[in-house]
């Protein structure tokens, strides 16, 4: 199983466990295509803006949405739960998508600058180690949310 497929499969299990546990299996099977569509919506939104986020960040975004729905608790009264979930994901991206966009642009720009410096270092300059250390720091930063953000992506 590829990493993206595994990520979606794990998130599907989380949705099944946290949102659909009180419903019959037949309801889950009828609605899981829409749930899968909701889980992939943020990827489409982010991709259309030509930026990327790490798989860990993507997971954190969706787990934050799921946790928010569970915390709210009103999903148990919803007739068509997958549509409700999809709408929650869309609204979350409307409200927080610009934050994810800025994160992606920042990472991309920093990585581009670091790679330019790396190319210069490979041409014979003595700054190879500092440049590689900077590239490593940028790559590590992709995994962690910025210090001004909570793990769920909301500002502090």
Whether pLDDT at 154 is above 50: no
- Domain residue extents for the chain: 3-141
Whether pLDDT at 124 is above 60: no
The tokens of 118 are what? 């790396």
Question: So what's the pLDDT on residue 90?
Answer: 95
Give pLDDT tens digits for 41-59: 998 888 888 877 788 888 9
Taking residues 122-142, report their average pLDDT: 57
61, 153 Cβ separation under 8 angstroms? yes
How far apart are alpha carbons 31 and 2 in whole angstroms? 23
Backbone angles phi, psi at 74, to 5 degrees: -85, 0
- Beta-carbon contacts of residue 31 (< 8 Å; ≥ 6 apart): 20, 80, 81, 82
**Whole-structure pTM value:** 0.69
DSSP state at residue 23? S
């Amino acid at each position: 199983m590829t990493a993206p497929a595994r990520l979606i499969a794990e998130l599907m299990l989380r949705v099944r466990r946290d949102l659909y546990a009180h419903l019959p299996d037949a309801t889950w099977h009828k609605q899981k295509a829409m749930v899968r569509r909701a889980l992939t919506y943020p990827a489409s939104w982010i991709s259309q803006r030509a930026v990327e986020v790490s798989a860990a960040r993507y997971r954190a975004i969706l787990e934050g949405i799921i946790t928010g729905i569970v915390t709210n608790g009103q999903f148990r009264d919803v007739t068509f739960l997958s549509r409700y979930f999809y709408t929650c994901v869309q609204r979350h991206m409307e409200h927080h998508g610009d934050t994810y966009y800025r994160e992606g642009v920042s990472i991309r720009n920093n990585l581009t600058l670091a790679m330019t410096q790396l190319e210069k270092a490979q041409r014979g300059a003595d700054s190879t180690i500092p440049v590689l250390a900077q590239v490593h720091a940028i790559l590590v930063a992709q995994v962690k949310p910025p210090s001004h953000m909570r793990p769920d992506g909301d500002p502090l």
